[in-house]
Structure 1
Amino acid sequence: MTTTGRAETGAEQGADQRPGRGRPPRYRRDELLERVVEVFNERGYEATSMEDLARATGLNKSSFYHHFSGKEELLGLGVGRALDALAAVLAEPAARHGAAADRLEHVVRRTAEVLLAELPYVTLLLRVRGNTKVEREALRRRRDLDTQVAAMVRAAAEAGEIRPDVDPRLATRLMFGMVNSITEWYRPGVRPSSRTDVVNAVVAIAMHGLAVKG
């Protein structure tokens, strides 16, 4: 006999622990965002519904809205994390001081390192197409970063530190197109390449390909 209400049966207690019912799983905000970004990358942002996100995380929609205002905020946080990390590279001392070619090499290396460290978030960023306000802002920020790097390439060419016969903007697109392609084939823990091997190869190919022939 119970003193208040009715007793829960074992089956009901078990049901309360199932994802999406009763007591939801506990997530830190960053953990929840990480899982959401995985779903965006798997299904595509536009094809993903809040129901899909709730199903993937075991949360119900009301629990989701307790953490985030909606799908577009989640996209903004995901691409923002990638953009903030890439922008931070250009603010590092080695990217701001010294010979232009040395600064460029530092940016190429660190960009590859950031991409590998933040792989799901950069992958999401590279798939943005500008269909929403958040996406258009992300593309604007990407263009700003490209402009800064192109200026660095131009300065290195004018200083005679790299070959001058390749348009700086084209060189920038080619170099970082190579870096960005890592998102399409790199899988953590899968041989033959470690993160260090990938980064070193990117720097060697990018910088030696631009080097002035002695």
Structure 2
Amino acid sequence: MEIQKAPTRQRRGRPGYDREALLEVCVAEFIKHGYHATSIGILADALGVSKSAIYHHVDSKEQLLEMAVERALGALESTISQAEEHSGTSLDRVEWMLEQSVHLLAAERPYVTLLLRLRGNSEVELAAMARRRAATKRIEALVRSAQTDGLIRPDLGAKATTRLMLGMVNSIVDWYQLDGPADVDELVHNVRTIAMDGIRTR
């Protein structure tokens, strides 16, 4: 099933950069320098435009961050909703969620990377981190449901199991070089095998 990207508001841009292309460059700079250390001047230099050209697209640096984390969080929340309605057993829903988490990371890697590096130093960051925690709890509920159904080992804590699985997926941003669909499929297979073989009942 195809991962749905969160919608972004459209605003007429200047020639050379539409809002999507501008956001992509800005996110790369946020990751490179850290969000708070990245000034509008740094973004303007990276884009090769004036500061005023950036403000033609967005109102502030904070709005850029908000747009970026919405891209990751919107896709994650949509995927969880699909997992909650997924056919099959409760364990099938956990496995599907795990697989789609890897696909999501591959499709939205820069935006997920930025989300994972937020430290809660602004209202936008705090709100994003709260949404991420809420999303994690929804995934934990899927794990608890499978455990209640006797499909996940009873000796495993649902909270720890959920966070360990997500930690494995999230670590991908730091070490794996994605290079085409074949590599993503291989990565999905590896994550699914390691995680699911370790938690399912025999």
TM-score (norm 2): 0.89
Could you tell me which residue of structure 2 aligns to residue 185 of structure 1?
175
Partner Cα distance (2:153, 2:22) in 1 = 46
SS in 2 for 1:194: helix
Could you tell me which residue of structure 1 aligns to residue 10 of structure 2?
none
Percent identity, aligned pairs only, is: 45
Partner Cα distance (2:188, 2:47) in 1 = 33
Q: Report Cα offsets for 1:106-142 as digits up to 9, x if no partner.
A: 0000011000110000000000111100000000100
Could you tell me which residue of structure 2 aligns to residue 200 of structure 1?
189
Could you tell me which residue of structure 1 aligns to residue 155 of structure 2?
165
Structure 1 runs (4+) greater than 4 angstroms displaced: none
Could you tell me which residue of structure 1 aligns to residue 120 of structure 2?
130
Please tell me whether the aligned partners of residues 109 and 199 of structure 1 are also in contact (alpha carbons under 8 angstroms): yes
Please tell me whether the aligned partners of residues 95 and 106 of structure 1 are also in contact (alpha carbons under 8 angstroms): no
Could you tell me which residue of structure 1 aligns to residue 77 of structure 2?
87
Structure 2: which 5+ runs fail to align? 1-13
Partner Cα distance (1:144, 1:99) in 2 = 23
- Report the number of matched residues: 187
SS in 1 for 2:38: coil
Alpha-carbon offset, residue 28 of structure 1: 1.1
> Amino acid of the residue matched to residue 117 of structure 2?
R
Please tell me whether the aligned partners of residues 69 and 111 of structure 2 are also in contact (alpha carbons under 8 angstroms): yes
Could you tell me which residue of structure 2 aligns to residue 212 of structure 1?
201
CA root-mean-square deviation: 1.4
Please tell me whether the aligned partners of residues 84 and 142 of structure 2 are also in contact (alpha carbons under 8 angstroms): no
Partner Cα distance (1:122, 1:44) in 2 = 14
Please tell me whether the aligned partners of residues 25 and 58 of structure 1 are also in contact (alpha carbons under 8 angstroms): no
Partner Cα distance (1:150, 1:166) in 2 = 12
Please tell me whether the aligned partners of residues 162 and 211 of structure 1 are also in contact (alpha carbons under 8 angstroms): yes
Could you tell me which residue of structure 2 aligns to residue 34 of structure 1?
24
Could you tell me which residue of structure 1 aligns to residue 132 of structure 2?
142
Could you tell me which residue of structure 2 aligns to residue 10 of structure 1?
none
Report which structure shows greater RCO (CA 8 Å, sep ≥6): 2
> Amino acid of the residue matched to residue 164 of structure 1?
P
Alpha-carbon offset, residue 189 of structure 1: 2.7
Alpha-carbon offset, residue 188 of structure 1: 2.7
TM-score (norm 1): 0.84
Please tell me whether the aligned partners of residues 25 and 59 of structure 1 are also in contact (alpha carbons under 8 angstroms): no
Partner Cα distance (1:174, 1:72) in 2 = 31
Partner Cα distance (1:27, 1:161) in 2 = 50
Partner Cα distance (1:85, 1:186) in 2 = 21
Greater C-alpha radius of gyration? 1
> Amino acid of the residue matched to residue 119 of structure 2?
R
Partner Cα distance (1:187, 1:40) in 2 = 19
> Amino acid of the residue matched to residue 184 of structure 2?
R
